[in-house]
Amino acid sequence: MGINLTGLNSGMADTYSTLLGGMGGGDDAGGMGSLLGDYAAIKNGSYGKMLKKYYSKLEKQEAEESGKTDQKTAGKVKDASSASAAKSLYKSATALEGLNYDDRSEENIGKITDAVSAFVKDYNNLMKSADKSKNANVQKQAESLYNSYYNNYKLFSKVGITMNSDRTLSFDTDTMKKALNDTEHGNGATVKTLFGGIGSFADKAANKASQIYRAAGDGEAVTSSKAKYAGGSAYTSSTSTSATKKEDENKTVTDASSAAAANSLYKSIENLGATDMTNSNKDAVYKAFNNFVKDYNELVKYTANSKNSNVVNQANYLKSIVSGNSSTFSKFGVTVNSDKTLTIDEKKFKDADMGNVKKLFDGPYSAAEKMTDKVNSIYRYATQGETLNKKTYDNAGGGVGAPTMGSMVDAIL
């Protein structure tokens, strides 16, 4: 039997009208009025439009939240290929920092050229791998590394390094060797500026490689025990003489004193980083910082007498990091002495704002992270391959099984 919908709608409207008309006032009448208002909104389509708009807005919000979630997830995607390439670049970049760029001998120029060649190869492998990576943080850090190169492309071109369309680099060894021999136009100094020591492009590349390794490995540090230490340099010189043989022997000398001092400094930096660095907690901060100063000075003393050339080089970098922050140290009563040791004035320290201490010793990418990286390197070279990252410490100095989240020792530069 068919139903006449038009008649049904008309009948329902009449019924509601009669009911409403038969009521006087009060809550019941108000409720019925509201019901009839809803009915009218449904009938004329305005209610449907409202629902459509509501669900459209809801879908948009869900899409945005999903996008944020996808982005966060993309930042946690493990990428073994980029991690491996970053580890290699970290080693070759670190090797470049420790070379002697003032020695113009044919042998040393060959050593530098080989090291730069290894670095360029590792840089290119990382760029290619990062370009294919599904990890958003890996891509972001690789882009930052590329920008660091691009900002200095004119200097690089002077020493034989040019950029390709796919963000990789090309390297001309003959141009590099000529640059190293060019004292008249200062291109030898340009090579040193780009690759030698703290603040150079090689130093920044090591920093970015470390960050990429961490991003690709979901938090793992490039100096950890899982990132197996290969030992020695990341390059092989084309020339071998008794002098280089002697140098290689010096790199394999174990140094128990420097290793012990590095272990103590590692622990004191970790402890300082875990301290609540607020003005209401100055006594505890001073105690932790004073221990850091004592352990740092001990390490400076022992490494100065080390027979392991890698230990000496890494200690020099550590001292450069400290010297580079001397103005900040002075804000809270710590003086960097001429021999690179530290002196702390308790009164000035406790009168100072602990926020200045926190800037150096708290959070990702702080100066403390750079220091712990070098301390770990000293320990590895002094022990010939062991790593401090196999153990970390709690606030009381006791050992715990695994590094804590946000540990400065597991983050680099």
Q: Does residue 380 form part of some domain?
A: yes
Pairwise CA distance, residues 282 & 277, whole Å: 7
pLDDT in tens, 302-356: 999 999 888 898 898 888 888 888 888 999 999 999 889 999 999 999 999 999 8
Q: Does residue 167 form part of some domain?
A: yes
Whether residue 256 is found in the same domain as residue 190 = no
SS3 170: strand
**Domain closes at, from 201, 222, 243:** 222
pLDDT in tens, 36-86: 665 566 666 666 666 666 666 666 565 555 544 444 445 567 888 888 888
Whether residue 108 is found in the same domain as residue 145 = yes
| pLDDT cut 90: percent of the chain above it | 20
Q: Does residue 124 form part of some domain?
A: yes
pLDDT of residue 142: 86
**Domain closes at, from 202, 222, 242:** 222
Residue 306, token pair as written in the block:
């080390």
Q: Does residue 209 form part of some domain?
A: yes
Q: Which residues contact 204 (CB under 8 A, 6 or more apart)?
A: 145, 148
Is the distance from CB of 175 to CB of 160 less than 8 angstroms? yes
Burial of 164 (0-12, 13-18, 19+ CB in 10 A): exposed
Q: Does residue 280 form part of some domain?
A: yes
Is the distance from CB of 178 to CB of 188 less than 8 angstroms? no
pLDDT in tens, 134-158: 888 888 888 888 888 888 888 888 8
Give 392's strand partners: 400
pLDDT in tens, 357-404: 988 887 666 788 788 888 888 888 888 766 555 433 332 333 333 333
Q: Which amino acid is at 116?
A: V
Dihedral, 306, 309, 310, 312 alpha carbons, nearest 10:
50
Comparing C-alpha atoms, which of 52, 384, 386, 50 is closest to residue 248? 384
Whether residue 265 is found in the same domain as residue 401 = yes
Whether residue 269 is found in the same domain as residue 177 = no
Whether residue 323 is found in the same domain as residue 379 = yes
Using CA atoms, how far residue 96 sits from 103, 204, 233, in Å, is: 14, 12, 9
Q: Does residue 153 form part of some domain?
A: yes
Whether residue 406 is found in the same domain as residue 349 = yes
| pLDDT cut 70: percent of the chain above it | 64
Number of domains in the chain: 2
The number of angstroms, rounded, from the C-alpha of 325 to the middle of its chain's C-alpha atoms is 19
pLDDT of residue 238: 42
Whether residue 404 is found in the same domain as residue 267 = yes
Give the N- to C-terminal CA distance of the chain in Å, as an integer.
82
pLDDT of residue 291: 94
Please give the mean pLDDT across all residues of the chain.
74
Q: Which amino acid is at 334?
A: V
Q: Does residue 217 form part of some domain?
A: yes
Using CA atoms, how far residue 56 sits from 46, 59, 62, in Å, is: 15, 5, 10
Q: What is the span of the domain harbouring residue 110?
A: 77-222
Residue 158, token pair as written in the block:
């002077």
Comparing C-alpha atoms, which of 85, 202, 201, 93 is closest to residue 133? 85
Pairwise CA distance, residues 137 & 133, whole Å: 9
Q: Does residue 35 form part of some domain?
A: no
